[in-house]
Amino acid sequence: MSLLLIAPDRDMTPWSEALQAEDPNLDIEIWPNVSDKKNVQFAVSWNQPKHLLDSYPNMKAISSLGAGVDHLLGDEALPESVTICRVVAPSLVQQMKEYVLGTVINIQRNLVQYIRQKDIGRWEARSHPLAKDVGIGILGLGELGRPVAQQLAQVGYTVSGWSRSEKNIDHVNTFAGADQLPNFLGQTQILICLLPLTPETNNILDLDLFKQLQNPSWIINVARGEHLVDEDLIYALDSGIIDGAWLDVFNEEPLPNKHAFWNRENIIVTPHIASITKPSEVADQIVENYKLSLSGMELNYKVDRDIGY
């Protein structure tokens, strides 16, 4: 039986090496080089090609390469009988905390504008608010959203969080459900999206939402590109409804060269690097789930298809 690695846009050799270091007896194959599709019972996948996953008749389970699983849940080729799981790594949380804190400080202290000024040789001091006077809103209070909210509160920002169900977090003003979303947005100046991608959250970052934020405001999206309606963001920026956006994820990746985001100074683009899974950190989880799957046992970090995470 073999373990298959699928990630068309990545070099999977380090992943194969990390898994073999965990268990040298593993039979690991890297797509598209598969000797016999019937031997594949477990796969690790990221952004797999369409109409691929149903071509392995004995597939029992598939693991995401990271915390996100929308690329699997949204794949109609994945049979209902296949169990979906994900990986959980402490460094993913730490990396996300670092990235978000860095973006918030850059926005609060006008560092983006100072970089632009340096490029044209302009010396101009800008006023900035104190951290306590900046209303931060976190959409999503799960395994990434909760620690991000806690860190920002510890630094001194005024932090609110919104989630599908009620949460209690020290020093964070929490909101839950559709009815409480407008109140949450109304006190937010910097909105950070850390939601899982589900049918309910798809396209949630739209013009109607932008209009409910405080003015001025910024959007930070580090969840999934499909949360954002691209054309609505452009309109909101051009109309002065929001001041800027800091984006690490996109509807299409890599972001096409001719995309409008490249030409907007008030949109910061990073290439999906906010939180990157390290092979050596999660190899043991993948190997354990592979063996549990072969034994017909319950997998760790199993995903509930109904709720999307």
Catalytic residues: 224, 272
Query: How far are the Cα atoms of 2, 100, 127, 238 from residue 234, in angstroms, in the given order?
Result: 46, 22, 26, 6
State the helix-helix crossing angle for 90-108 and 111-119, rounded to 10 degrees: 60
Residue 188 burial (CB count, 10 A) = 25
Of 164, 107, 108, which Cα lies nearest the Cα of 132? 108
Residue 102 burial (CB count, 10 A) = 13
Residue 44: Cβ-neighbour burial (10 angstroms; 0-12, 13-18, 19+): buried
Q: Token digits for 267?
A: 């949109």
CB 108 within 8 A of CB 129: yes
